[in-house]
């Protein structure tokens, strides 16, 4: 499957990036494609293009903050989880995505 | 037929002294007998007796019956019923917080989260000690009085009656002169006890039975003490002190001074935290310092001489302990935390561990600062700042020089003159001063001429006791009258000047004439010594203390007769703000942050610079690092603090840019109030330091921390010791604010607490390896063994460092990185490992800002 994701945490120093790393790593292990945008203390990095969003089967929002540009994902299948879940149980997120699809 | 009125006790804290005093006063206005029966205990008490009321343990909502019988019972009932219904409840007080003290000093989160039970005071001498609380008895009843047999009953009765009359009239007179509401209220309570019918009856019946007045008073004291200590309310237990006081005063008014002998050798526990209402310097000196670990004195200003002695002896001390429902019974175990000005009672295991860590930190910090203190202090932008010490004995001079002081900025000589029947001889003075000058090892010593007035006991000078000694006859003003004494001192100082670098300082200057008087005396003494062929420094410089606003406004004129200036900020601030520093009610005004103080100090320093005269500051604020940006911004480049503060001040100077401070002071002078100036100071950015993000000295192995709190404290303390942060409390707060949003335990046995703060001097990745894994938070499923603490400077320009941190965060998710960490056996290996996985070089070469 193809995923896009956004991660973000309140201070934007650690969890944002850990979640991004974990989602990327787990997606690789499960044979999925993923692009992760981080919204941390350095602002938005690896920003998702409209095309990437359009081409994704599902959107993972792993954030403890209100993310920027949430309207970009209107109409898409969204899986919204706390950032901790992406770090600790990334596998379950992809499993959920499979179920909703 | 008596009259009754039933009610429920409306007082939340029960009938304690204040409502009882008022009720007994109202009841005493009637001829009728007035009793109250407590339905809960069945006890009946005399409503005219304060002691009977407070001893009966009336608690909130107890059913009570007021029982009145006598010829004016109807009036009494009407009046007392109205009083109980309308006023009684209003006499209760909020016990926990009397609200007068503005909470200024914060407690670190790692202590706060241990939930300490504590009482706040005001800081006097820093340091941390634990021990058993003990109330100091400075006198005890003369045993001979107790042993002597009674004279005939009618003689004893007359003595007692006379004693009561004298006592009440003395208390009433003191009440009329009372300087504050608080003092007045205490005297009211004392008068009420002295007039208490039950109390008097108790003593009188003992005397009628053939006891002497002394024995009768002592047994009444014992009786009521036990009655009050059995009362359920702690507020009432506290009345014991008042009762003891009244009994002692009564003894004194019957027997005069012979009633007491001074108490030396009170049995003290091995580690005692001594509590005293007042403590004179003499009493302090007599205490067994091997047992006294800490000191709490209630009536004392920050500058009292007892405080100076305690500081010199290294005894942590706080004053003005808050009123509280916590009763400090003798023997209760406590920690006196002089740094945060609190007394923590019955410290739990976690609190004791906190303080052990705190002690370790203090020791390491002191070593670090001492090592650096031998170097010349300079601001981050390169302005040299000389840090001197205040001292009052050769031993203190030695300590100060060892601690890195650039010299002695204020050598107090009063100590040689106090508490003795005659002034010291010139020879004696010379011996002491010579020792002090030698102890300075060639560094300058500024010796201040005798600074005494009506507030300091120097019996042989016959100084008048004055209504307001701080605006009275003191300092240089008294010199012409005691010329012989001053001459002796000048001779001793001049002789000592041959042995090192000595300067002379004249206290309490308000006019040019006062300086001229001293100069001509010095010139005269120089001639004398010349003729005698005695060696001295012919170029000896004479400076003026600037502690009156008058002196501060005529620096240019004074510069003609003064070779240098020293600002005595304690007095100067009190005079400028017209606020007595010993008066609790105006203490809020007493702050160097007042824009008037800032502007005035700046004007003084500017004038001195224009007149090309050295100027330094030697008040308490010179040693309190929170004021350092203010002092640097005012233009001061020479400070004189307490010896213990020297290394701290020196270490802090380099945290600031003098030019930043100067800009800040320009704004501070026009600020609306002290609060705004305080904020300006706190917001001043400390200068960033150029350091690698991670070094072996921020990698801690085998930490014994047993909780998240302890782990974070260990890491933050180490950052302070390594000079990577400024205010550790601020850093802890930032880390805990983040931690409370959601735990930073990320699984794999790793936690990455982090925070951003302006108080960070150098961005850091610190690492802690725990000896035993700890449960990071209640929700964490696995125990934490490795802790990365990321402390980041809170400013805009740090994006490059963020890259590093985001890299670290990503690496933690990789098995290979984590495995490698497990194998690291030295701090250096950890640093290498991290450097191998994260490219730090780009960032570090641009670091520093």
* Cβ–Cβ below 8 Å for A41 and B790: no
Confidence band, pLDDT 50/70/90 cuts, at residue B56: confident
Q: At what angle do helices B595-610 and B569-576 cross, to 10 degrees?
A: 120
* Cβ–Cβ below 8 Å for B802 and A13: yes
Chain A positions in Cβ-Cβ contact with residue B810 (cut-off 8 Å): 17-18, 20-21
- Percent of chain A topping pLDDT 90: 76
Question: B675 and B644 in contact (C-beta within 8 Å)?
Answer: no
* Cβ–Cβ below 8 Å for A14 and B809: yes
Nearest CA in chain A to B748: A88
* Dist CA B30 CA B34 (whole Å): 9
Which residues of A are part of the catalytic machinery? 9
- Percent of chain B topping pLDDT 90: 54
Digit-coded pLDDT (tens) for B746-762: 778 899 898 888 888 88
* Cβ–Cβ below 8 Å for B813 and A25: yes
Q: How far is CA A17 from CA A6, A12, B272, B561, B756, in A?
A: 10, 8, 53, 69, 17
Lowest mean pLDDT among B181-190, B244-253, B331-340, B800-809: B181-190
Assess whether pLDDT exceeds 70 at residue B264.
no
CATH 3.40.50.20 fits B139-262, yes or no: no
* Dist CA B594 CA B43 (whole Å): 56
- Percent of chain B topping pLDDT 70: 91
B651: nearest Cα among B625, B629, B631, B689: B625
Give every CB contact of residue B681 below 8 A, 6+ residues apart in sequence: B593, B626, B627, B629, B630, B664, B668
Residue spans per domain, chain B: 3-91, 114-137+266-364, 139-262, 374-683, 696-846
pLDDT (mean) for B307-316 = 81
Question: A47 and A37 in contact (C-beta within 8 Å)?
Answer: yes
Nearest CA in chain B to A87: B746
Residue spans per domain, chain A: 2-100
Lowest mean pLDDT among B23-32, B232-241, B357-366, B442-451: B232-241
Class assignment of domain B3-91?
Answer: alpha beta
* Cβ–Cβ below 8 Å for A21 and B805: no
Chain B touched by A21 (CB under 8 Å) = yes
Chain A positions in Cβ-Cβ contact with residue B738 (cut-off 8 Å): 10-11
Mutation target vs B (from A17, A28, A46; most B CBs, 10 A cutoff): A17
Smallest CA–CA distance, residue B735 to chain A, in Å, is 10
Phi/psi of residue B751, each to 5°? -125, 145
Q: Which DSSP string corresponds to B362-399?
A: HHHHHHHHHHHHTSPEE-TT--EEEEEEEESSHHHHHH
**B759 three-state secondary structure:** coil
* Dist CA B335 CA B240 (whole Å): 24
Q: Which of A10, A22, A42 sits opposite B806 (nearest CB)?
A: A42
CA B170 to chain centre: 32
The b-or-e profile of B420-457 (16+ CB within 10 A means b, else e) is: eeebbeeeebbebbbbbbbbbeebbbbbbbbbbbbbbb
Chain A positions in Cβ-Cβ contact with residue B795 (cut-off 8 Å): none
Radius of gyration of chain A, Cα coordinates, nearest whole angstrom: 12
DSSP type of residue B697: G
**A35 three-state secondary structure:** strand
Chain B positions in Cβ-Cβ contact with residue A15 (cut-off 8 Å): 744, 746, 809
* Cβ–Cβ below 8 Å for B813 and A41: no
Phi/psi of residue B271, each to 5°? -120, 100
Confidence band, pLDDT 50/70/90 cuts, at residue B100: very low
Chain A positions in Cβ-Cβ contact with residue B803 (cut-off 8 Å): 42
Chain B touched by A15 (CB under 8 Å) = yes
Residue B841 is predicted with a pLDDT of: 66
Residue B265 burial by Cβ neighbours in a 10 Å radius (0-12, 13-18, 19+): exposed
Residue A46 is predicted with a pLDDT of: 94
CATH 3.80.30.20 fits A2-100, yes or no: no
Assess whether pLDDT exceeds 80 at residue B384.
yes
Chain A positions in Cβ-Cβ contact with residue B747 (cut-off 8 Å): 87-88
Residue B178 is predicted with a pLDDT of: 67
Confidence band, pLDDT 50/70/90 cuts, at residue B233: low
Chain B touched by A44 (CB under 8 Å) = no
CA B197 to chain centre: 41
Lowest mean pLDDT among B148-152, B247-251, B753-757, B794-798: B794-798
Residue B245 burial by Cβ neighbours in a 10 Å radius (0-12, 13-18, 19+): middle
Digit-coded pLDDT (tens) for B712-734: 999 999 999 998 998 899 999 99
Digit-coded pLDDT (tens) for B607-665: 999 999 999 999 889 988 889 999 999 999 999 998 888 988 998 898 899 999 999 99
Chain B positions in Cβ-Cβ contact with residue A36 (cut-off 8 Å): none
Chain A positions in Cβ-Cβ contact with residue B746 (cut-off 8 Å): 14-15, 18, 87-88
CATH number (3.40.47.10, 3.30.300.30, 3.10.50.40, 3.40.930.10) of B696-846 reads 3.40.930.10
Residues 49-78 of A with CB under 8 A from B: 64
Confidence band, pLDDT 50/70/90 cuts, at residue B182: low
Residue B847 is predicted with a pLDDT of: 42
* Dist CA B743 CA B428 (whole Å): 66
Assess whether pLDDT exceeds 90 at residue B229.
no
Smallest CA–CA distance, residue B705 to chain A, in Å, is 23
* Cβ–Cβ below 8 Å for A14 and B741: no
B654: nearest Cα among B372, B457, B412: B372
Tally of CB atoms within 10 A around A96: 16
Lowest mean pLDDT among B172-181, B355-364, B654-663: B172-181
Tokens of A10: 């309140």
Residue B263 is predicted with a pLDDT of: 60
Confidence band, pLDDT 50/70/90 cuts, at residue B801: low
Residue B96 is predicted with a pLDDT of: 36
Smallest CA–CA distance, residue A91 to chain B, in Å, is 14
* Cβ–Cβ below 8 Å for A18 and B809: yes
* Cβ–Cβ below 8 Å for B806 and A17: yes
* Dist CA B224 CA B237 (whole Å): 10
Q: Which DSSP string corresponds to B616-632?
A: EE-SGGGG-GGGHHHHH
Question: B151 and B237 in contact (C-beta within 8 Å)?
Answer: no
The angle subtended at Cα B768 by Cα B766 and Cα B770, nearest 5°, is 175
* Cβ–Cβ below 8 Å for B802 and A41: yes
* Beta-carbon pairs below 8 A across chains A and B: 68
Lowest mean pLDDT among B238-242, B290-294, B789-793: B238-242
* Cβ–Cβ below 8 Å for B738 and A22: no
The angle subtended at Cα B122 by Cα B636 and Cα B344, nearest 5°, is 130
Q: Which DSSP string corresponds to B468-486?
A: -GGGSS-GGGGTTTTHHHH
Confidence band, pLDDT 50/70/90 cuts, at residue B269: confident
Catalytic-labelled residue, pool B13, B190, B305, B726: B305
**B618 included as an active-site residue:** yes
Lowest mean pLDDT among B4-13, B238-247, B357-366: B238-247
Per the rule left: phi > 0, alpha: psi between -120 and 50, beta: everything else, B619 is beta
Digit-coded pLDDT (tens) for B107-135: 899 999 999 999 998 888 889 999 999 98
Nearest CA in chain B to A39: B806
Question: Which neighbouring-strand residues pair with B317?
Answer: B125, B295
Assess whether pLDDT exceeds 70 at residue B328.
yes
* Cβ–Cβ below 8 Å for B806 and A38: yes
What's the half-sphere exposure (Cβ side, CA atoms, 13 Å) at B303?
A: 20
* Cβ–Cβ below 8 Å for B810 and A82: no
Tally of CB atoms within 10 A around B685: 17
Rounded-to-10 torsion of CA B631, B635, B638, B643: 0
Tokens of B809: 């965060």
Among B189-203, B382-396, B595-609, B730-744, which range has the highest average pLDDT?
Answer: B595-609
Residue B709 is predicted with a pLDDT of: 94
Residue B101 is predicted with a pLDDT of: 33
Confidence band, pLDDT 50/70/90 cuts, at residue B797: low
Assess whether pLDDT exceeds 50 at residue B835.
yes
pLDDT (mean) for B378-403 = 92
- Tokens 């009432």 sit on residue: B236
Tokens of B806: 């985001």
Smallest CA–CA distance, residue A95 to chain B, in Å, is 20
Mutation target vs B (from A18, A19, A40; most B CBs, 10 A cutoff): A18
Smallest CA–CA distance, residue B814 to chain A, in Å, is 8
The beta-strand segments (E) located in B540-612 are: 541-546, 564-567
CATH topology of domain B114-137+266-364: Glucose Oxidase; domain 1 (3.50.30)
pLDDT (mean) for B321-347 = 88
Nearest CA in chain B to A26: B813
Digit-coded pLDDT (tens) for B36-48: 999 888 888 999 9
B567: nearest Cα among B518, B517, B630, B486: B630
Residue B176 is predicted with a pLDDT of: 81
CA B598 to chain centre: 23
Q: How many helices (H) and strands (E) does chain A have?
A: 4, 5
Assess whether pLDDT exceeds 90 at residue B806.
no
Q: Which DSSP string corresponds to A52-67?
A: HHHH-SEEEEEESSPP
β-pair type (B377-378, B122-125): unpaired
Listed in sequence order, the DSSP H helices in B404-497 are: 426-439, 483-496
Chain B positions in Cβ-Cβ contact with residue A62 (cut-off 8 Å): none
CATH topology of domain B374-683: TIM Barrel (3.20.20)
Q: How far is CA B603 from CA B446, B508, B551, B606, B715, in A?
A: 23, 19, 12, 5, 43
* Dist CA B125 CA B273 (whole Å): 13
**B837 included as an active-site residue:** no
* Dist CA B554 CA B510 (whole Å): 9
Give every CB contact of residue B135 below 8 A, 6+ residues apart in sequence: B274, B275, B276, B328, B330
Phi/psi of residue B807, each to 5°? -65, -45
Report which of residues B605 and B741 the model is more confident about.
B605
Question: Which neighbouring-strand residues pair with B647?
Answer: none
Q: How high does pLDDT run on average in chain B?
A: 87
Residue A98 is predicted with a pLDDT of: 75
Give every CB contact of residue B783 below 8 A, 6+ residues apart in sequence: B749, B773, B774, B775, B776
Phi/psi of residue B542, each to 5°? -120, 125
Smallest CA–CA distance, residue A97 to chain B, in Å, is 22
* Cβ–Cβ below 8 Å for B790 and A13: yes
The pLDDT averaged over each successive group of 10 residues in chain A (101 residues) is: 92 87 94 94 91 94 92 93 90 83 54
* Cβ–Cβ below 8 Å for A14 and B810: no
Digit-coded pLDDT (tens) for B63-75: 999 999 999 999 9
* Dist CA B594 CA B581 (whole Å): 15
Mutation target vs B (from A9, A12, A13, A89; most B CBs, 10 A cutoff): A13
Report which of residues B8 and B688 the model is more confident about.
B8
Residue B601 is predicted with a pLDDT of: 98
Q: Which of A21, A64, A88 sits opposite B810 (nearest CB)?
A: A21
């Amino acid at each position: 499957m193809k995923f896009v994701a956004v991660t973000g945490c309140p201070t934007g120093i650690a969890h944002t990036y850990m979640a991004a790393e974990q989602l990327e790593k787990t997606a690789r292990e499960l044979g999925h494609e993923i692009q992760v945008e981080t919204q941390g203390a350095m602002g938005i990095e690896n920003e998702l293009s409209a095309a990437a969003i359009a081409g994704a089967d599902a959107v993972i929002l792993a954030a403890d903050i209100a993310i920027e540009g949430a309207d970009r994902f209107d109409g898409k299948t969204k899986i919204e989880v706390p950032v901790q879940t992406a770090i600790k149980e990334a596998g379950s997120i992809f499993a959920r995505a499979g179920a909703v699809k | 037929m008596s009259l009754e009125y039933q009610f429920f006790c409306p007082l939340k804290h029960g009938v304690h002294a204040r409502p009882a005093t008022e009720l007994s006063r109202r009841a005493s206005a009637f001829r009728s007998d007035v009793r109250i029966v407590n339905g809960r205990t069945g006890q009946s008490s005399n409503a005219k007796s304060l002691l009977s009321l407070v001893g009966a343990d009336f608690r909130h909502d107890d059913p009570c019956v007021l029982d009145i019988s006598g010829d004016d019972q109807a009036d009494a009932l009407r009046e007392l019923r109205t009083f109980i219904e309308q006023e009684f409840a209003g006499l209760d007080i909020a016990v926990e917080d009397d609200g007068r003290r503005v909470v200024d000093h914060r407690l670190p989160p790692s202590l706060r989260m241990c939930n300490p039970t504590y009482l706040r005071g005001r800081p006097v001498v820093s340091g941390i000690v634990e021990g058993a609380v003990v109330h100091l008895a400075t006198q005890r009843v003369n045993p001979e009085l107790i042993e002597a047999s009674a004279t005939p009953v009618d003689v004893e009765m007359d003595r007692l009656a006379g004693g009561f009359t004298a006592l009440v009239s003395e208390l009433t007179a003191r009440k009329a002169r009372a300087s504050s509401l608080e003092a007045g209220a205490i005297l009211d309570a004392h008068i009420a006890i002295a007039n208490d019918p039950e109390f008097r009856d108790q003593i009188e019946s003992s005397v009628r039975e053939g006891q002497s007045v002394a024995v009768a008073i002592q047994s009444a004291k014992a009786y009521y003490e036990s009655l009050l200590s059995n009362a359920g309310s702690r507020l009432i237990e506290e009345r014991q002190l008042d009762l003891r006081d009244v009994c002692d005063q009564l003894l004194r008014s019957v027997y005069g001074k012979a009633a007491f002998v001074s108490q030396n050798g009170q049995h003290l526990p091995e580690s005692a935290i001594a509590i005293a209402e007042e403590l004179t310097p003499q009493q302090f000196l007599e205490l067994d310092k091997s047992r006294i670990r800490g000191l709490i004195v209630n009536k004392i200003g920050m500058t009292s001489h007892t405080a100076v002695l305690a500081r010199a002896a290294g005894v942590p001390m706080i004053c003005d302990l808050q009123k509280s429902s916590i009763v400090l019974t003798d023997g209760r175990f406590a920690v006196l935390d002089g740094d945060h000005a609190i007394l923590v009672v019955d410290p739990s295991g976690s609190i004791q561990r906190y303080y052990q860590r705190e002690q370790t930190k203090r020791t390491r910090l002191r070593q670090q600062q001492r090592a650096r203190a031998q170097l010349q202090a300079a601001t981050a932008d390169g302005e040299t700042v000389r840090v001197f010490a205040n001292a009052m004995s050769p031993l203190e001079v030695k300590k100060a020089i060892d601690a890195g002081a650039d010299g002695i900025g204020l050598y107090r000589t009063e100590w040689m003159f106090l508490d003795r029947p005659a002034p010291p001889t010139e020879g004696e003075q010379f011996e002491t001063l010579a020792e002090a000058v030698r102890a300075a090892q060639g560094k300058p010593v500024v010796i201040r001429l005798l600074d005494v007035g009506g507030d300091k006991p120097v019996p042989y000078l016959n100084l008048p006791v004055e209504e307001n000694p701080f605006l009275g006859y003191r300092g240089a003003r008294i010199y012409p009258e005691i010329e012989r004494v001053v001459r002796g001192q000048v001779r001793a100082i001049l002789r000592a000047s041959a042995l090192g670098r000595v300067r002379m300082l004249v206290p309490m200057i308000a006019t040019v004439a006062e300086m001229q008087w001293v100069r001509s005396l010095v010139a005269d003494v120089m001639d004398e010594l010349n003729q005698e062929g005695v060696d001295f420094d012919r170029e000896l410089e004479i400076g003026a203390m600037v502690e009156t606003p008058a002196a501060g406004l005529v620096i240019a004129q004074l510069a003609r007769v003064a070779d240098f200036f020293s600002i005595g900020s304690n007095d100067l601030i009190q005079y400028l703000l017209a606020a007595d520093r010993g008066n609790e009610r105006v203490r809020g005004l007493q702050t160097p942050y007042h824009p008037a103080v800032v502007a005035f100090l700046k004007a003084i320093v500017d004038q001195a610079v224009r007149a090309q005269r050295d100027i330094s500051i030697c008040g308490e604020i010179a040693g309190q690092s929170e004021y350092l940006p203010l002092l640097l911004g005012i233009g001061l480049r020479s400070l004189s603090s307490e010896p213990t503060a020297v290394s701290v001040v020196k270490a802090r100077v380099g945290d600031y840019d003098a030019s930043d401070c100067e800009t800040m002071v320009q704004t501070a002078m026009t600020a609306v109030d002290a609060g705004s100036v305080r904020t300006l100071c706190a917001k001043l950015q400390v200068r960033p330091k150029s350091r690698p993000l991670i070094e072996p000295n921020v990698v801690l192995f085998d930490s014994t921390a047993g909780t998240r709190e302890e782990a974070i404290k260990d890491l933050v303390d180490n950052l302070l010791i390594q000079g990577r942060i400024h205010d550790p409390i601020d850093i802890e707060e930032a880390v805990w604010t983040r931690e409370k949003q959601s735990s930073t335990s990320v699984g794999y046995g790793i936690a990455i607490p982090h925070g951003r703060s302006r108080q960070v001097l150098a961005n850091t990745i610190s690492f802690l390896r725990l000896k035993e894994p700890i449960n990071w938070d209640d929700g964490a499923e696995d125990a934490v063994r490795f802790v990365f603490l990321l402390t980041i400077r809170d400013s805009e320009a740090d994006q490059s460092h963020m890259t590093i941190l985001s890299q670290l965060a990503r690496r933690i998710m990789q098995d290979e990185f984590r495995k490698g960490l497990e194998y690291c056996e030295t701090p250096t290996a950890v640093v290498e490992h991290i450097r191998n996985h994260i490219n730090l070089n780009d960032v570090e070469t641009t670091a520093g800002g």
